[in-house]
């Protein structure tokens, strides 16, 4: 991926291991591997594992059939390669790169089968989650990453504008979701990742799976969708209404809109992330809907749709420039309707850059 300094990221990971007194880091096929090397093979039963140590060269253990693919990855020149054929046992190869004792960090997304086999091969090692080492590195986006996230957000906004110009009333949720998925790609995403279209009572379920329900007059429709641009994700939500808004929908939308604005207004480097959640939650609580805001205010985003940091009550993580996360308060009234508004923001020295630009107003569509 052009513009990314993978050797620098590998050095930063090694330094973080040293600082945390960890003897090694084992990274399976996962977004962590893509972050460190630019290599993103499909996770599978054949293990691919990067081993990073505080001082030695990073080594990538790969199945022989994928060695050419791995060698061509952006960090290829910075890696030592070891390959294994299907008739051999790969775990001793990885184990030989690890110390016999001490603490080894392992990527959060490793398959259970791979970790169990490794643990049996080096019984003297104590295992730790690599998230504590890699999470803070991945949370601070560099300029290239911020640009990819901006491009993804702009493409998602354009997809929304176009879908709202097409007929919604009389269509099924699945129809609209398919249209959105196509538009995400048309407007610049490499692929669509998810398209939630939740109408009427279905809008009260935050992660509703689109179904054949016909969207009708007076329905609130929550559209929450995203895809990736060069591996970096968009994720935005707008709630619209078909033809005419019932009075309570109008009132609830105004509360969520205000909660969203209050949360964005608090964001700046140096504050605790929990206070962003508190800003949104206090608006909704004051309006009497506190029990209907059933999730945290947001999540980090980058190479994964959900990644650290998490915008939740009482979390003391300090905001630093370059952190990117969603702000997505919602109110959900089971059996009736739901409202959510979501944008991706980037923390700057003085405030927040809001990456999504489409109107947050309650728009009426035909």
Chain contacts with Zn ion (rule: CB under 5 A): 224, 235, 237, 326, 342
Nearer to Zn ion, 213 or 296 (CB): 296
Phi, psi of 294 (to 5 degrees): -95, 15
To Zn ion, the closest distance from the beta carbon of 19 in angstroms equals 31
Q: Closest CB to Zn ion among 61 and 344? A: 344
Residue 195 or 326: the one with the smaller Cβ distance to Zn ion is 326
Q: State in angstroms the smallest separation of the CB of 171 from Zn ion.
A: 21
Could you tell me the two tokens for 20?
Answer: 């945390």
State the nearest-atom distance from the C-beta of 237 to Zn ion, in Å. 5
Residue nearer to Zn ion on the CB measure, 145 or 328: 328
The sheet carrying 80-84 orders its strands as 80-84, 59-63, 49-52, 24-28, 102-106, 125-129
Between CA 308 and CA 353 the distance in angstroms is: 18
Least distance from C-beta 92 to Zn ion, angstroms?
41
Least distance from Zn ion to the Cβ atom of residue 188, Å = 18
Other Cβ atoms within 10 Å of 247 Cβ, number: 7
* Alpha-carbon span 117 to 61, nearest angstrom: 15
Rounded Cα gap, residues 42 and 295, in angstroms: 31
| Closest CB 328 distance from Zn ion, rounded Å | 5
**CA-wise closest residue to 229 among 108, 360, 355, 358:** 355
- Integer Cα distance of 281 and 214 in angstroms: 32
Beta bridge partners, 346, equal 324, 353
Nearest to 348 by CA among 138, 133, 143: 143
Shortest Cβ 344–Zn ion spacing (Å): 8
Smallest separation (angstroms) from Zn ion to the CB of 305: 7
Task: Give 238's strand partners.
Answer: 223
Q: Answer yes or no: are the C-beta atoms of 324 and 330 closer than 8 Å.
A: no
Residue among 63 and 329 whose Cβ is closer to Zn ion: 329
9 vs 208, beta carbon nearer Zn ion:
208
How would you classify the pairing of strands 125-129 and 80-84?
unpaired
Instruction: For helices 131-139 and 6-19, give the axis angle rounded to 10 degrees.
Output: 140
Nearest to Zn ion of 175, 342 (CB atom): 342
Quote the tokens at residue 137: 């590195």
Cβ 147 to Zn ion shortest distance, Å:
20
3-state percent helix, strand, coil for the chain, nearest multiple of 5? 35, 25, 40
- 237 versus 292: smaller Cβ distance to Zn ion: 237
CB of 228 to Zn ion, least distance (A): 14
DSSP E strands in the chain: the ranges are 24-28, 49-52, 59-63, 80-84, 102-106, 125-129, 191-199, 220-229, 232-233, 236-242, 298-300, 307-311, 324-327, 330-333, 337-340, 343-347, 352-354, 364-365
């Amino acid at each position: 991926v052009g513009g990314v300094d993978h050797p620098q990221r590998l050095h930063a990971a090694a330094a973080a291991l040293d600082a945390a007194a960890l003897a090694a880091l084992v990274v399976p096929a996962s977004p962590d591997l893509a972050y460190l090397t630019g290599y993103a093979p499909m996770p599978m039963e054949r293990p691919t594992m990067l081993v990073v140590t505080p001082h030695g060269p990073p080594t990538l253990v790969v199945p022989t059939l994928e060695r050419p693919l791995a060698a061509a990855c952006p960090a290829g020149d910075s890696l030592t390669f070891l390959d294994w054929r299907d008739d051999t046992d790969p775990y001793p190869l990885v184990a030989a790169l690890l110390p016999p004792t001490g603490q080894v960090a392992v990527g959060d997304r490793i398959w259970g089968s791979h970790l169990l086999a490794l643990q049996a091969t080096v019984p003297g090692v104590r295992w730790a989650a690599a998230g504590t080492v890699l999470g803070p590195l991945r949370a601070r986006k560099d300029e290239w990453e911020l640009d990819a996230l901006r491009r993804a957000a702009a493409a998602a906004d354009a997809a929304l504008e176009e879908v709202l110009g097409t007929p919604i009333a009389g269509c099924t949720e699945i129809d609209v979701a398919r249209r959105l998925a196509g538009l995400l790609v048309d407007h610049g995403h490499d692929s669509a990742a998810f398209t939630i279209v939740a109408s009427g009572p279905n809008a009260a379920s935050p992660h509703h799976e689109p179904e054949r329900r016909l969207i009708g007059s007076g329905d609130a429709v929550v559209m929450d969708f995203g895809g990736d641009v060069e591996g970096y994700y968009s994720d935005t939500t707008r709630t619209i209404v078909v033809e005419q808004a019932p009075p309570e929908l109008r009132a609830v939308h105004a509360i969520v809109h205000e909660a969203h604005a209050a949360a964005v207004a608090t964001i700046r480097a140096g504050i605790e992330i929990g206070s962003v959640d508190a800003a949104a939650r206090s608006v909704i609580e004051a309006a009497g809907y506190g029990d209907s805001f059933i999730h945290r205010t947001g999540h980090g985003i980058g190479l994964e749709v959900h990644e650290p940091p998490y915008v939740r009550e009482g979390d003391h993580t300090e905001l630093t420039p370059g952190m990117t996360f969603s702000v997505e308060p919602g109110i959900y009234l089971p059996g009736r309707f739901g409202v959510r508004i979501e944008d991706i923001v980037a923390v700057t020295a003085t405030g927040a850059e809001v990456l999504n630009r489409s109107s947050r107003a309650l728009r009426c569509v035909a």
